[in-house]
Structure 1
Amino acid sequence: MREWAEFTLEGEGDSRVLALTGPLVVSSIGKIDVPLREIDGKIDRVDVTGVTDIDTVGAWTLWRLSRDNDARIDGCSEKAQRLIDAVKESKGEGGVRPERAGVIERVPEAVGDLVVGWGHGSVGVLGFLGATLVAIGNLIRRPSRFRSKAFVRQAELVGVSALGIIGLMSFLIGIVIAQQGAVQLKQFGAEIYTINLTGRLSMRELGVLMTAIMVAGRSGSAFAAQLGTMKLTEEIDAMRTIGVAPVEALIVPRMMAAVVMMPLLGFYAAVMAIIGGAFLANFSLGIPFFTFLSRIQEVVPITDVWVGLIKAPVFGLIIALAGCYQGMQVEGNAEEVGLRTTLAVVQAIFMVIVLDAFFAVFFSNVGWA
């Protein structure tokens, strides 16, 4: 049974004696710490004859009582006196909080830390991508090591399970494009060109872009959370211990699933957006539903389809890379899982938009405008 420190206070006025008994150590002194701080008036003497054990915390408590009350300490053992003397000599001269630097110093320092962090992150991502490519090369040389069941499972999660939400989102976006386009084109009596606007914009840009953003928020975050939790619970370390390469078993199936499923999802989203536009045109513009769809085949060049299909796997690679990389960086505690998951989504969406702008300029320069 644990023994607690105790105290008694005897005497009156300026001749009061505080007698401490029991162990004055960190595990037993907590019971009397608050009552000792609440004692009113001065203490003339502190008697520690009954103290059975003492550590640095107990010595600091005795020195504080002596300092605050200008009291002497009686009955100290050699160990207690040595600790009290050591505590007396250790004085901290620094403030509790460091002085905050001025704005002129803080802003460049924060910007510098951010730039350095970006540099380190870029190097880490490149190294992670290199390790993944090496793992893919090993799987090409030894196809039997490829985890086909894991790939099929991830393809189902990334692609098949997302058909509902992506289809609904794309259908509504097609309605919005057609409605807003028709309002503007109506001023020039060119409502018929709503078909061109909806078809080309869906196939070339918004179909694959909105799909990538949805997949980043849905599957990219899942990759980061799953791998981060496995890292936190040391499952990945256990895999290494039994001779299983985590990159081959966990990273490659997720990346391949994202790269393979993104073109299919992007094309599906573009088709659903066109159907949404045709649905609105049928009721608002007087353009029959099937006339709208047949006209799409004439006004949308095949190059627009290829542009969307070329961009989609690159977006899928970026999303999977960001999610898996951030998940593998989790360390320390559960809060890190949430932080890394957020970073994975933000980085994936940011890079998707940047790459989409690059592709827009690139395809315009090569004549696929």
Structure 2
Amino acid sequence: MTETADFTLTSGENGDTLVFSGPMTVATLGGLDARLREIETPIARIDLADVPMMDTVGAWTCWRLSRDTGAEIVHPCEAAERLIGALEKVDDGGEPTQAGGLPVWLRVPAKVGDTVFGLAAGAVEVLGFFGQMLLATWGLLRHPGRFRFNALVHQMELVGVNALAIVGLMSFLVGIVIAQQGAVQLRQFGAEVYTVNLVGRLTLRELGILMTAIMVAGRSGSAFAAQLGTMKLNEEIDAMRTIGVSPMEALVLPRILATVLMLPVLGVYSAVVGIIGGAFLSSLTLDIPFFSFLARIREVVPVHDVWVGLFKGPVFGLIVSVAGCYQGMQVKANAEEVGLRTTSAVVMAIFTVIVLDAFFAVFFTEVGWG
């Protein structure tokens, strides 16, 4: 039968002494705490001479009594002395701090300031990552035999070939929406025929490559961040460095190069499917024959619109892939950070792509390719 803890009160000239006996552990204290709270007489000392064993619960019981009554703890065993001393260090005696820290009217400016400083530090880290990427590229140019061609082909399949279905479906529906909404507005002026111009120029110049970049950011950019983050968390990347393999050359560069090569192809494919979607709707609702719509595209869309879309493709591909790989390589702590970094990679890529697309729109208009 397990021995239980107990206590007795003895009176003395300098006050009462609370004498504990038996092991004071979580399994033996039982209802001792409730009996201790019923003591009304002042306690001067807590005697632990008859306590052969004590765990954290027993130590907390003694320490709380000592704190609340001012009693001195005497004759503790080595374990009791160590545990009670640890509890005394935890209790600094200070006043509890206000929940939330700063007052309400200062929290928003403080949060904005932290975000600004975080963006500045993040920009420096991205530049450092870009520099490492350039150094790895230079190393591969000097030693082409180290380039992993099989990894590049595999990533091109994942980024490009496997995305054809979802990108095609999205582009086809976007082309239908552009044609339908454009025709509704142009019909007011009797200019439904200009729906061809609207669909052709908008898909080839802007929406084809932009929507594709956003889709690739959500699909492949997030995959890059999750894959590299998981490898970082499992110390696989550290193991690669240990055996003399550069993670930049083996993991990052094939993903970046595959995205830079495949995004222009996907952009052209997206624009073509979008035009087909517009032609399909026009043949049904605008009485414009399907092949007549496609033939007129060649007449109304200038060639430089195609070049604008092709120029944006590699740039957007670089942004999406660098964002995904950078965020994945920043994972350090736990599995939760993998999810946070994956989300950050998608947000970072889409935001940067949209900002650059706005810049390109103004730039190409100013140089006469509007």
**Contact 2:26-2:58 at 8 Å conserved across structures:** no
Aligned to 1:221: 222
How far did 1:16 drift? 11
Aligned to 2:345: 344
Aligned to 1:289: 290
1:61 is the counterpart of 2:61: yes
How far did 1:57 drift? 7.0
Equivalence map 1:167-186=2 (5 Å)? 167-186=168-187
Structure 1: which 5+ residue stretches go unaligned?
none
Task: Please say which of residues 227-236 and 74-83 is displaced more in the overlay.
Answer: 74-83
Aligned to 2:139: 138
Aligned to 1:8: 6
Letter in 1 for 2:294: L
- State the identity %: 61
Letter in 2 for 1:300: V
Q: Deviations over 1:121-163 (max 9, x none)?
A: 0011111011101111111111110000100010000000000
Paired residues, number: 360
Task: Please say which of residues 63-72 and 189-198 is displaced more in the overlay.
Answer: 63-72
Q: Distance in 1 between matches of 2:39 and 2:328?
A: 59
Q: Secondary structure at the match of 1:52?
A: coil
How far did 1:106 drift? 2.3
1:259 is the counterpart of 2:256: no
How far did 1:174 drift? 0.1
TM-score w.r.t. length of structure 1 = 0.89
How far did 1:241 drift? 0.2
How far did 1:77 drift? 4.9
Q: Distance in 2 between matches of 1:312 and 1:36?
A: 74
Aligned to 2:49: 49
Q: Distance in 1 between matches of 2:355 and 2:132?
A: 24
Aligned to 2:108: 107
**Contact 2:324-2:342 at 8 Å conserved across structures:** yes
TM-score w.r.t. length of structure 2 = 0.88
**Contact 1:18-1:43 at 8 Å conserved across structures:** no
Aligned to 2:194: 193
Task: Please say which of residues 245-254 and 40-49 is displaced more in the overlay.
Answer: 40-49
Q: Distance in 1 between matches of 2:21 and 2:326?
A: 57
Equivalence map 1:216-365=2 (5 Å)? 216-365=217-366
Letter in 2 for 1:316: G
Structure 2: which 5+ residue stretches go unaligned?
10-15
Q: 1:42 to 1:252 in 2, by over 3 A?
A: same
Q: Distance in 2 between matches of 1:152 and 1:82?
A: 62
How far did 1:199 drift? 0.3
Q: 1:83 to 1:171 in 2, by over 3 A?
A: closer
**Contact 2:29-2:58 at 8 Å conserved across structures:** no
Q: Deviations over 1:297-337 (max 9, x none)?
A: 11111100000000011000000000000000001110000
**Contact 2:4-2:29 at 8 Å conserved across structures:** no
Letter in 1 for 2:108: V
How far did 1:101 drift? 1.9
**Contact 1:185-1:193 at 8 Å conserved across structures:** yes
Q: Distance in 2 between matches of 1:273 and 1:86?
A: 69
Q: Distance in 1 between matches of 2:133 and 2:113?
A: 30
Equivalence map 1:28-107=2 (5 Å)? 29-31=25-27, 35-39=31-35, 40-42=37-39, 47-53=47-53, 58-68=58-68, 75-77=75-77, 91-95=92-96, 97=98, 100-107=101-108
Q: Secondary structure at the match of 2:22?
A: strand
Q: Distance in 2 between matches of 1:287 and 1:261?
A: 33
**Contact 2:7-2:19 at 8 Å conserved across structures:** yes
Q: 1:85 to 1:263 in 2, by over 3 A?
A: closer
**Contact 1:170-1:272 at 8 Å conserved across structures:** yes
Q: 1:244 to 1:70 in 2, by over 3 A?
A: closer
**Contact 1:43-1:69 at 8 Å conserved across structures:** no
